[in-house]
Structures are given as structure tokens and as C-alpha cells.
Structure 1
Amino acid sequence: MSKWHSGNPQLWSGFRLRISPQAYFFEPTSASGSEAPETLIIDRNDSTIRLSKEPAPSGGDKTMSVHGIVGIIKLHRSEFVVVITSKKKVAEIAGADVFMATEFRTLPLDKEANPSLLKHPVEKTLLGLLKAHLYSAPFYFSYEYDLTSSMQRQAGLKHDSAPLWQRTDERFFWNRFLMQKFIQTSQSSGQDLSRFILPCVFGFLEVKEVTINNHAFVLGLIARRSRHRVGTRYFSRGIDLDGNVSNFNETEQFIITNPKGGQKMTKANGSIRKSYVQTRGSVPVFWAEVNNLRYKPDLQIMEKPETTEATRRHFEDQVDRYGDNYLVNLVNQKGYEKPVKEAYERAVEKLGNPQVHYTYYDFHHECKGMKFERVMDLIDRLQKIGLKHSDYFAIEDGKVVSEQKSVVRTNCMDCLDRTNVVQGTLARWMLNEQLRKIGILSDDEQVETKSEFMHIYRNVWADHADVISKAYSGTGALKTDFTRTGKRSKEGALQDGVNSITRYVKNNYFDGARQDAYDLFTGAWEPSKGLPHPDQRALLVRAMPWVFLFALFMLFASVVLPRHTAAQTIATVAGTDAGDVVKKSTLSSHLYFFTLWLVVAVGSLQFMVSRGLDYVAWPTLNRPDETIFYDGPGFKSGAKGRTGVINPLKGQRQNGELKNAGRRGEAYTIPSKI
């Protein structure tokens, strides 16, 4: 076992779950120490949690094997226990096994639960969102290693003998909201549930054993997604009042090995460990892109009086955690993106923090012609303002020999595609220095010349890019052909086009449900805040997509179905003159038919485009009306797609409820007895 784990209270790595009408009994099936076994009991009468030294009573309705408890979540009618029923080992880090959860069960706490409960429309909707999130998000966990924390953070903990959940970086403890009841019970009841509290990470993890110059080492890459202000591409932008930004990810690249000539590693438990951390996150001001069915949404910068304080909180937190922040802004300085760049620069200027160093890099101009290798020029610029190639974490034989005292925070509009290219280049630059210090590379060698290693390295970073992108935008990343091969190709550009179209479709018509799932799982929305509202749009508004599709069908039919058969038959029987008349009449009727449905198709399409807001699949739990209908100071690129759309912020309230017929996906409060 690694020194990093010895002495720490270990988690139970498996349970036998006995289900009875009165309680759920979790009996550990793996021992960790000499203490007597303990049984976790979740009472189905009052939802309390307690420990017992006695084994679970025999019998019960059902028994199953469980690999971990994700937590307890309250939906509309009942609380549900979420458990992991299948796992896959994906890596070994510092002597510890790392797993990905592959199967889950959601078990109702309500002892009166029956099929009618699960068929309740609200409960069914919320349960569907929960399950969709569980099976779409890659959940990683370890019973020993703290995946939420970088190597440097783990080494610097003062209370490293504390239970795993207490040592986590709470930003990346993805299921912390579901674990609230367990944590509160441990803190207030005197019963320590620590061995049952399993922190999960949502993000990316890949560990490879590689060899350069006959020296084997482990290369690892972890991306940790923050659970604060989490969301999808267009429904979560910018910053909140607490200083949390959208799409914040901490990416740690690490290597583990033994000295040259030393013993062979087992379970990636070498005595030399080096890591390098980078971050990415949305531009930390109040801004948004409002979907309206157009390819480019309406861009708006909201100049709120809270902007300065929110930005200050964000960077004070970043400096406190990482040291000096080198900000790399890749947003375009012309056209559509320009206002975002300018708002960011105003915010940083007002900040006046000497530990925050801003650098603008015009990615599309500098790398014009798909020459992404020019990103090395950016690293030269960063070095000139203070970034050091020796600024990374290193530990040897359990002793910290260097600490990372700064971080590069990269962003573009989405913090995805351009950001991936820059982060991958920066990580490779730092990796060269780390391998030279170990002696794996000589002073004049670079990993770029090691073709076999670079094939693995590029694919790990491309996989990392795809996973982060799918969580935020719904598709894999763009420009990954360069990340995987080191070259930009026509095939890669074509795939980028396909991904861009797919993003458009998903971001407009499907991301509302994904955003709802994020809000439900992370606790950004709770049943007390109101429940999903049914579609209350006017009948004409709801019917128009079907009118459009039917018109397209009729146009297609008018083109492919035969239309001259009758005219030709009459011409044969009645003679040429009569046949010509009939043929002309048939062609004229067909032209009228085609024109009619063309007008219907164009008219229905124009109707939907002019009312684009009513056709976007908005989140139904935390509908962002204040952002959609913001009318304060700032910048707006336009207000398209709003014809006939009612602003709920100016609606009429009756008996405390907002009455706005014709709105889609609005939240409202319904009596708990329903």
C-alpha cells in the first residue's frame, strides 16, 4: 500500500444489500482492519440512517451485491437511494485501484412505494432525469485514492489521516449533494459513516504505462469537473454571485516512475511522482448566449453592479488555491466574440490583482491555415511575464521536492476546442522538462521525436478533449485531428463540420433535459423550488412544426410521385390535340400543388424562426428567464426570435402564481398532495 493511504480509514469496497419493507441493510463484504463488521441501516419509516454492530436480519424481499453508495436524493413523492451495482477497473494510481461505475439502481425509500408511485408524471420525469445523468456521466471512484485532489493538494493536507470524504476537494466531489444526509449524520449523531461515503468524480481519467529510452513510467491524465454552476453549453455561461464559473475543469497530468535502474513498479506505485495542473473556465463576467433557433444565438453582456465583486471572489479563490494565475484568453477580437473579450479585459483591469496576469492570444489569426503548432509562441509570451518551465509538483521517496506555485487558466468562448489545443501544447512542454529532470530524456531530447510515445500521448489528450466537450456541448471536441496526429486534415475539418451541426441540434432541442439533470443531481434545484410545468404554448405554436413537416412531405411527394400517366393514356385514346390539353392541365395542377405546399413550408418556417424562443427546449427546473429577458445595461447583439413571445417577468400574478399562457418549460409550485 502507498504511503499516501496508510493509516487512513478505508472505505468498504462492497456490500450485501438486504431489502425489507422496513429498511435497507448494507452489510460490508470486505474487511479493512480488525474492527468488528458494521451494518448500515436506512430506515424506510422515517428515512433515518444508523449503524449497527449486529448483522442484518435474515429474510427480506431481495438481496443484491452493491459496490458503493452514491447517496440519497429527494424527488417529488419519495426519496431514493442510489447505489452502484456494477463497476469496471480502469486504472491503478499510487498503489490504489480506480474504477468507473457502469450500472446503478435507484431504490425508493418510501415503504409504501408501488408501481403507481413510479408512474406519477412528475416522479417519473424526475427519475428519468436522474437515470439519464447516471448513465451519461463517467463516474470514477477509488476506495483509497482521493481522485478529487491533485497530488500536490494531497501531499499538503495537514490532516491526511482524516476519512476520505473529509479530505476531498469539495468542488469535485460530484455526488456531495446526494451524500448530505450521510455527512450530516456523521457530524451530528456521533455515528461515523465515513466508510460508507464514497466520493465520485465526474470527468475524465486515463492512465497508460509507457516507455521512453527503455525507461518505463506511468502517464496519467485526470480532468475534474466542478459541481458548482454546472450546466450545458448555452444554458450555463459566465459567473454567479459566489464567483463560480461555468464549465470549470481542473486538468492534472502526472507521471509516476522509479529511478533508472530501480525496481519495477507495481500498481503505478513508484517513488518519483510529478504532476502539472491547468484550469479552464468560462469568462468570469455576467454574460449569456440566448438560443433562438439561429446558428449564432443572441449574445448579451450583462453589466450588473455585482460583476466586480463576483470576479474578485473568483480570482481570490483561484489565487488562494493555485498561486499566481496566468490568464490566457483565446476569444476572437473581431466580430461576434469581441464584446466578450472586452468585458473580460475590463473586469481584470478593475480587479487590480498583482497575482493575476492577463494574456490575450488571437488563436484564429495566429494559427491561420490550421498551423496550430504556432501555439508555442504563446508559451514564449507566458515565459516573458513570469511562467517557469520548472513550476510543477514533484515528490521523491515521500518527500516534496518542488511545488507548483502558479496555474495557467485558459478560456475561449466554450472553453473547449481552442482551449484543448493550448492546454495540450502546454502540458507537453512541461512534460519534456519533467522527463529531463528524471533522466528519461537527455537535455537535447524532446518527446515529440518519440513516435510511439506521441501516438499514445496525443490520443490520451484527444480523448480528454472529447469527454469534456461531450459533457458541456453534447458532442466530441473540434480540432481533435490535430491533437491526435499533430496535423490538421480535410477529414478532420469535415468531422468538425458534422460536430458543429450536431451541437446546433442538441443545444437547441435536447439540452434542456440535460441541464435539468445537472441541476437535479447537484442540488441547484430541489422539489421545494417548484416542479416542471407542462407545455402551455398556444395550440397554433405547438402545431406549427407538424405543419412544416407535413408541407415538406407533400413537397417531396410532388417531386417523386408519377404525374404524367393519366395524360399519356388520354393522349393515346383521344388523339394528340386532346392529349396536349390534358397534359398541360396536369402540369399546371402539379405546379399549383407544389407552389401551395412550398408557401406553407416557407410560411411555417418563418413563423417558427420569428418565435424561436418558443421552440428551444429550455430547462424546465431552473428556467433562465432573468437571462433570456434581461433588459438592463450592457451589450446585446440582437433580440431575435421573440415575436409574440410573452415575457414572464412582466406577467400577471394570481394567488401568488405567475399566469402566462403560451410559455414552454416554465416552473411553478404545485401542492405537495398531488
Structure 2
Amino acid sequence: MRPVYQRLNLFIVGQDAYTFAPVEPLGAQSLTIHRSTGDIVLNPPNTPAPPTVSRYEKTVYGILGMISLALSEYIIILTGREHRTRFMGHDIYRAADFDILPLNPNVSVQNPPHPVERHLLALVRSHLHSGHFLFSYGWDLTTRLQAQWAERENSNERSLWEQADDRFFWNKFLQSRLIDNDIAQDLSPYILPIVYGTFDVRTNYIHGHRIQLCLISRRSRYRAGTRYFRRGVDHDGHVANFNETEQILLVEEQATGRIFNVEKFSQQLSFVQIRGSVPVFWAEVNTLRYKPDLQVMDLQDTVDAMRRHLHEQASIYGEQSLVNLVNQKGYEQPVKDAYERIFNQAEATDAKYQYFDFHNECKNMRWDRINILIDKMQDDLLRQGYFHLDVFRLDPVKTQRGAVRTNCMDNLDRTNVVQAALAKWTLNLQLKALGILAEGEDLDDFHALSKDFRDLWADHADLISRAYAGSGALKTDFTRTNKRTSIGALEDGSKSIMRYVRNNYFDGARQDGFDLVTGAWTPRNNPITAISLLADTRPLVVRSVPYILSFSLFMICAGLTLPRTSDYSLFYYFMLWVTVAVATTTFMMIYGIEYVSWPRLIPPTDIIYYEGPGYRSGHHGKGLKGSFTQKFGLSGKVFYANAVPTARKRALTVSKMEEIEMGNKQRVD
């Protein structure tokens, strides 16, 4: 495998070009990107820098790629990295800081000449700095251990980006200018794949054996996004919040002391699980209520979409055990029913469905009852197995022939608990198979290793939850301590409030960042066509209500400090402002959709106004009908922050026009 350059010096040739020169090895081919044309050129070895260049003040640790916005194309470079650990003989880093370089010399990144460009740049920056990106210069973080072994014969001939798993190559769209270049092979040392996910390693000792336990999660770049704006499946079979989680166990045969070769692990074991949204067309429509309106859409190609999804997973992992944790009663029941109905119609031969009523079975904090699920699945888990490689043997001792696919509504909290339980069961099985644990011994008998295991899974759950829902995971007190505590319940309450606030008021911009960086939406090179991204064309009465509410709350607080010259007058004072506060709050709840922070690049218009077959729990937040609505000039339809008009017909028309004008590449279902 050709290595990726680990450090680059950046030279700016006036307003003509950017030149990246590797620090090591000396004399390697430097890379020049011409600012006027965007041409990418590899210079001959030992090419000296022009005498008029200025050196960039920071060391560049990698080129993440290039992105074209409304006024200019930009190069995104990595200028800060955090060393996480050394694993499998390679250093693993987290991307810590980024810089953005404009090709257009008339565009300043710090002060863009147009508000649309400023907005788009802010979305890119926010996505880069809020994500958890990992990379290695010499080890393929995107690919699970078994797949790496299967491709070992070709790995020496392929570059790091060529052997990367396309699903988890997060900056694949950003790197497309380099990858699609005629000299892509020669550019390979400059193409650095990154993973959006988690990575952690813990080292421990059991009965004289040194073991290293690693947990990696990889987030798919397909149908990527936030909790309420990416649900279900798309027409290509990609599901929201799809993550591959791999637990790797490395074992040294016998540790003879504290001084040893840190790379000496003769046994390598891997256990892979996956999670993803229920693979049907469904959504939750935010209305400012704590629970959004649940919508299941029975489209003509729903069965085909599920088939595509299950077929892709079967081709990658083998047989699948589909574990569904969605509630069988109440709010979540329609999603469970749709999953089971479409699964039966899909007739997938390589998938086995298993329902587990998590909330009923584990009520009163009896989460140890997850063992009921494991007992039901034990035959499948043993048949699917895990990957085991002995470095002194040519062939693996075992291969994993299937994977458990777990989901709840969000694929976060319940899914985390169940996946951790399955991983623990498998780890016990692996340690006993290696002869490290004797019969009757269990992981919990070794306090240090048990604590490391719980911390790995709890940290992993928190990071996945922050990426999707905006807050840490719930129920991590159980994952960390094997107990449900009152403090943990209080923390879960605060996290739930944080999720509500973020999902309703901040996730629209966060979703736009996902769509922009992954290439789901691409702008045209004209900011005028995107000016609607910044406009707010809601009627004045709609926009003014939050300010009136804020003012009424201020007046109520101010009234508490007024001198009490007359309790009679203060009574009417408070009654007035409390009435205003209640009236404005009621108005905002009735027209709740107007006040949600919707994505602006790909607005979910066809979800909100879906009128086809399926299920809808309610039509809240769309306003009143009749004389009140007509009096204020409202139509009971959503006013998008990206200036989609209120009437349904105009909303759909403008949305389709924006898809054409702005290069929208993805249909939202």
C-alpha cells in the first residue's frame, strides 16, 4: 500500500496557485492546484518552490478534499490532529482543526463578499468542527478486520483510498476532484480518507495474557443526517443512521513481563454488528410538541427498497438477524407493524426477523432480562460466529458469516444496550475459546477488564448519539455500572430536554451541513439563485409572535420587582401579561411547524404534505382552518425558513424549482 503523506508544507504562490510539498520523504513530488483554473498538477521530484512564494503558517496534516460553493471552489485542509493511540502497528488520529482555502482570489474566507457564500461556508465549518472524524495514514479504518484479511493479496497494489469501504469513506465527495482525476493513482499519497465514528482501545491483563480491546464504529455517508430529518430508507435501499460497530480483541500468547514488544499480538478476533433505521418509508414531523407527528408512507417501491437494503447487507455480512426493539403498543406501533408487513412481503431468504419488546421485558429497570433475547438468538449467534485470525496460520480459525442488525426508533439508546449485551456475550465466548477464561469464569469476574468494556461501550454510545440526536446517549449509567440509578435517570431527563431543543431549533442547519459536505445537495456557481436560503418570508404576524412572548415574559419578571403601591393594579398588570404570554404560546403551538428550524437545502416538503396511503398520527402544528386563518392571511401550511411560500401548491412548486436551479441530487422520502 502506498502511504499517505503525514505532513505537508503549504506554499502560496501569490494569487496563482497553492503548492503542497511533503515534509518527508525529501524530494517527493509536490502538488500544485492552480487557483484560476482549478487544475491539479503533480510536479516533478525535487521541484524547488518559486522564489516569490509565501509559506503557510501552519503545518498541513492532510488534504480532506475540495468543495465548490456559490462563488468559489475551496480546498479543505487538516491543520490539527489529536493522537488517539497506536493500533495494529499504526497511529490513529482524530481530526482536530481545519482550514478552508479559496481558489477564487477575490473571495475571502474570513469575510465573504456575499451573504449566501458566508452562510454556506458557515455550514461547512460547523460540520467539520462538530463531527468526530478519525483517520490513519497507513491502516484502513473504514474496513472491518475480516474484509481486510480477504483483500490482503490486493492491498499491496492498492492505495488507501482505493481499498476504503465506500459507505464509510466520509469525505469521498470532497475527494472526488482528486479521485476522478486522470492522475488519481499518482495523487494517492495526497488522498486521505476519514471516518465519521468512534475509536477507543483499552489494554488489560488476564491470567498472564496481555489483551487489547478495541471498539470502532463507522457511520455511513449515505442518507446521513440528524434525528428527525433523516428517517427510514431511501429508494436506493440506504437507511438513516446506519452504523457498523466492530469489537476487536487482540491477545498476546503469554506476557512474560512488563517489557515486551507492544505490537506482538498473535491472536486477532473481531465481532461486527450493525444498526440502522427501520427500512420502510417513514418520518416524524416536528411540530414543537415533545412527540412529533409520526408518518408511515406506503409507497409503491417500499418493498423493493427494503429488498435492496437487505440484499446489500447480505452481500456484505452474510445472513442477518434483524432485531427490532420498537414498542408494540402506542405511538411506535405503526412503525413496527409496517416493518413486519413489508419484511414478510420482501421474502428475504438471508434475513431472520426477531422482535423483542424491550420496554415490557425490561420494565422496572430489569435490563438484565436482555438475556432473554440472547437465549432466543443463541443458535444464530453461534452459527454466525466471529472472525478469528491466528497470525501463525495461513487461514483464519473462524470467520463471521452473519451479523445482527439492531434497531429501535432512533437506533440509539435501546440499541446501544442490546448491542453491548451481545458484544459482552461474544467476548466471553472468545476468551473461553482462547483458553484465557476457564469454565465458570466470566468477564465480570475481572474488575478492570469489565470496567474497560463498559466504559468503551458507554463512550461509544454517547458519541453516536451526539452525532445523530445532539446529546449524549440515555441509559449509559446501566452500560457503565450494570445498574440503573436515580442520578442516571435525572441525567437522562436533562439529555431528553437537550434533544428536544436541538431537534426543533438547531438541527435544520446541522442537516444542511450534512447535505452539503456529503454531496446530497450541490450549489450552482451563482449566489443569486440561492438567495432564498437566507430569506424569511413568513407573514409579520407569525414572525412577531416569539418577540411578543419574550416581551410578555420580561414584563412579568419586571412586575415582580415593582413597588407594591396597589395589589389591585398589580393583579390586572399580571393578568394582562400572563394572558399575552398564554395567547402567544398557544399560537406558536397551533402553528408549530412555522417555528421549527427546517433544513433549507433540501426541505422535507413532500413529507409534510404527503397525502398518499399510509399512517399519520396527527396533523398538529399546521394552524387553524376557517375565518381565523383567513383573517390573518394564513393558510395553515408551513412557512419554511428558506422562503418556500405558505400555500401548499406554491410550496411544492418552489421546492421543485430549487431542486432544478440549485442542483439538488437527492429526493427526500
Structure 1 residue 45, shift from structure 2 partner: 1.2
Distance in 2 of aligned mates of 1:537 and 1:547: 16
2:201 to 207, 212, 217: 207
- Percent identical pairs in the alignment equals 45
Structure 1 counterpart SS, 2:296: strand
8 Å CA contact 2:306–2:342 kept in 1: the answer is yes
SS at match of 1:547: helix
> Aligned partner of 1:626: which letter?
D
TM-score (norm: length of structure 2): 0.91
| Cα deviations by residue, 1:17-45 (Å, 9 ceiling, x for unpaired) | 101211111101122xxx95100111111
CA distance in 2, matches of 1:191, 1:254: 31
The 2-side partners of 1:605 and 1:55 are apart by 67
Q: Please state how far the C-alpha of 1:269 moved relative to its aligned partner.
A: 4.8
- CA offset digits 1:528-549 (Å, max 9, x no partner): 3963241111111111001011
Give 2:428's aligned residue.
Answer: 432
Could you tell me how far 1:501 is from its partner in structure 2?
0.8
Partner of 1:193 in structure 2? Answer: 187
What is the aligned partner in structure 1 of residue 555 from structure 2? 554
1:497 and 1:326 map into 2 onto residues whose CA distance is 32
2:144 aligns with 150
8 Å contact 2:204–2:212 — kept in the other structure?
yes
Q: Is the 8 A contact 2:81 2:95 kept in 1?
A: yes
Amino acid of the structure 1 residue aligned with 2:307? R
2:368 to 364, 370, 373: 373
1:190 to 1:327, Cα distance in 2 relative to 1, 3 A:
closer
Q: Which of 616-625 and 448-457 deviates more?
A: 448-457
- The counterpart of 1:471, out of the listed 453, 467, 486, is 467
Q: TM-score, normalised by structure 1?
A: 0.90
SS of residue matched to 2:99: strand
Distance in 2 separating the partners of 1:247 and 1:537: 32
8 Å Cα contact 1:613-1:645 kept in structure 2: no
What residue number does 2:536 align with?
535
Q: Which residue is 2:637 aligned to?
A: 646
Q: For the residues of structure 2 that align with 1:445 and 1:178, how far apart are their CA atoms?
A: 49
1:392 paired residue number: 386
1:595 aligns with 2:603: no
CA distance, structure 1, for counterparts of residue 255 and residue 286 of structure 2: 59
Structure 2 partner of 1:75: 69
Distance in 1, Cα, partners of 2:49 & 2:614: 62
**CA–CA distance in structure 2, aligned partners of residues 670 and 285 of structure 1:** 28
Name 1:345's counterpart in structure 2.
340
Distance in 2, Cα, partners of 1:330 & 1:191: 45
Q: Distance in 1 between matches of 2:603 and 2:509?
A: 11
Determine which of 505, 512, 517 is the counterpart of 2:513: 517
Counterparts in 2 of 1:130-169, with a 5 A limit?
A: 130-157=124-151, 159-161=154-156, 162-169=158-165
Indicate whether 1:288 and 2:283 are aligned. yes
Tell me which residue corresponds to 2:35: 44
Letter in 2 for 1:47: G
Partner of 2:310: 315
Q: Name the structure 2 match of 1:570.
A: none
The answer to whether the Cα contact below 8 Å between 2:549 and 2:581 also exists between their aligned partners in 1 is yes
User: Aligned-pair distance for 1:81?
Assistant: 0.5
Q: Take 1:668 and 1:176, find their aligned partners in 2: how far apart are those partners?
A: 24
CA, structure 1 residues 139+314, in 2 after alignment: closer, same or farther (shift >3 Å)?
Answer: same
Q: CA deviation digits over 1:255-289, x for unaligned, max 9?
A: 11221257976454522100100000000000000
- The equivalent residue for 2:629 is none
Question: Aligned partners of 1:216, 1:191: CA distance in 2, in Å?
Answer: 40
Quick check: 2:388–2:399 contact (8 Å CA) kept in 1? yes
| Map of 1:328 onto structure 2 | 323
Which residue of 1 is the match for residue 222 of structure 2?
Answer: 228
* Structure 1: gaps of 5 or more residues: 1-7, 565-585, 661-665
In the alignment, the residues of structure 1 paired with residue 406 and residue 263 of structure 2 have an alpha-carbon distance, to the nearest angstrom, of: 30
Mapped partners of 2:425, 2:388: distance in 1:
16
Aligned to 1:118, the other structure's residue is in SS state: coil
Distance 2:582 2:465 in 1: 34
- Aligned to 1:462, the other structure's residue is in SS state helix
Measured in 2, the distance between the counterparts of 1:493 and 1:612 equals 29
The answer to whether the 8 A contact 2:63-2:191 is kept is: yes
Mapped contact 1:218–1:268 kept (Cα < 8 A): no
**What residue is the counterpart of 1:494 in the other structure?**
490
Letter in 2 for 1:646: K
Q: Does 1:56 align with 2:49?
A: yes
Give the one of 10, 17, 27 matched to 1:17. 10
Counterpart code for 2:324: N
Q: What's the offset of the Cα at 1:402?
A: 1.2
| Distance change >3 Å, CA 653–CA 507, structure 1 → 2 | closer
CA deviation after TM superposition for structure 1 residue 556, in Å: 2.1
Asked if the contact 1:300/1:635 (under 8 Å) is kept, the reply is yes
Q: CA deviation at 1:649?
A: 9.4
- Counterparts of 2:348 and 2:592 in 1: how far apart (Å)? 42
Aligned counterpart for 1:382 among listed residues 371, 377, 400: 377
Offset at residue 514 of structure 1 (A): 0.6
1:549-601 per-position Cα deviation (integer Å, ceiling 9, x unaligned): 1111212222343213xxxxxxxxxxxxxxxxxxxxx2222111111111111
Q: What are the superposed Cα offsets for residues 419-477 of structure 1, whole Å, 9 maximum, x if unpaired?
A: 00000000010001111122221132111111121111111110000000000000000
- For the structure 1 residues 629 and 79, does the alpha-carbon distance in structure 2 shift closer, same or farther, using more than 3 Å as the test? same
Aligned residues: 631
TM-superposition CA deviations, 1:387-445 (whole Å, max 9, x none) = 31770001111632211001000000000000000000000100011111222211321
Name the structure 2 match of 1:452.
Answer: 448
Answer whether contact 1:149 1:169 (CA < 8 A) is retained.
yes
Cα distance in 1 for partners of 2:192, 2:169 equals 9
SS at match of 1:513: helix
- SS of the residue corresponding to residue 100 of structure 2 reads strand
Q: 1:468 to 1:528 in 2, by over 3 A?
A: same
SS in 2 for 1:165: coil
Contact 1:93 1:267 in 2 (8 A): no
Residue identity matched to 1:100: R
Structure 2 Cα separation of the partners of residues 170 and 380 of structure 1: 35
| 8 Å Cα contact 1:625/1:649 also seen in 2 | no
Further displaced range: 645-654 or 82-91: 645-654
Name the SS of the counterpart of 1:164 in structure 2: coil
CA 1:653–1:607 in structure 2 vs 1: closer, same or farther (change >3 Å)?
closer
The aligned residue for residue 110 of structure 1 is: 104
Change (3 A) 1:419 1:370: same
> Who is 2:268 aligned against?
273
| Native 8 Å contact 1:279 1:407 kept in 2 | yes
RMSD of aligned C-alpha atoms? Answer: 2.2
Q: 8 Å contact 2:287–2:596 — kept in the other structure?
A: yes
**Residue of 614, 619, 643 corresponding to 2:594:** 614
Determine the structure 1 residue equivalent to 2:250: 256
Match of 1:628 among 594, 608, 616: 608
Distance 1:446 1:226 in 2: 34
- Matched residue of 1:373: which SS? helix
2:504 matches 1:505: no
Q: Which amino acid aligns with 2:508?
A: G
